[in-house]
Amino acid sequence: MVLAYRNTGLAKGSADQELVKALQRDLRALGYLRQGIDGDFGDGTRMAVCRLQHDLLHNDGSSTSGDGNAPCAVRAFNDGRVSAIDGVVAAGLADCIDDLLAADVYPKLPSAEDPRAANAAAVDQIRNNPSKIAPTPFMVAMFRQESNLQHYRVPAGASSDNFVTVGLDIKNPDEQNHVTSRGYGLGQFTIFHHPPRPAEVSDFIVNPVNNVEKAHKEFREKFDKFVANPPPGGADDRHAEHPGEPLRLCKFSSGDPRFLARLPRLRRGGA
């Protein structure tokens, strides 16, 4: 298949909104555009193009943090067609995108037909399946901060984006084209290789409950390491505010319905 934007030289400021939307949709499916399918080729879309060009030149499928290799090397799809990082969608880059989209070895990110309903169902599942690691209200607040409680983006305004929520992380601020990890879905569970493996897509990228379970564990590990742990491993500011106070776990047993649950406040002067 020849992509509609193959010979158009799309770049920042391109005026053909339908072609830009087609490009943005492909960049979302491939995991390079954080959000937005709105026909505006602005800084975000240009950065996504640059990051794809970077990977076509450098991504060998290895992990930046020891969580295993990706199912393929993105640079294997270059075949000499991309030689620079300039944010311009020339014919060679469009052909690379076409090949990536067609390749079964490169998993594409999922979208939802009704993202609003899918997000509501995911939040209900969290509230109906309380974590044994941290209180559900706390976890919901954390997920609201991480993803605005959106496992899938909800179309708004000019944007038709309904793909799974993705966060793009950069380890070195001076290397903005090199995405070192991606957080997915409601809980923004993070992996350090790209693209994700097929099993990861079906496990925690499509499935919000699995996503949140993994995020629970990730948040707890971070809490124990950076908040509850004494310096130098933990957070200096937390210990400055609360010196010598250890992390206190819930006083109720895991079989008690009050375990990690929010208890009603007592009214003044009453029980």
Distance separating alpha carbons of residues 228 and 247, to the nearest angstrom: 6
Distance separating alpha carbons of residues 31 and 252, to the nearest angstrom: 43
pLDDT at 217: 74
Q: Which of 26, 19, 27, 36 is nearest to 161 (CA)?
A: 36
CB contact set of 248 (below 8 Å; sequence gap of 6+) = none
Distance separating alpha carbons of residues 111 and 25, to the nearest angstrom: 10
Domain boundaries, the chain: 17-102, 115-241
Main-chain dihedrals φ then ψ at residue 182, nearest 5 degrees: -135, 135
Lookup: tokens for 231: 């310096």
The pLDDT averaged over each successive group of 10 residues in the chain (271 residues) is: 94 97 98 98 98 98 96 98 98 98 98 94 80 72 88 96 97 94 93 97 91 77 65 59 59 76 50 38
pLDDT at 267: 46
pLDDT at 142: 79
**Residue whose tokens read 């993070």:** 190
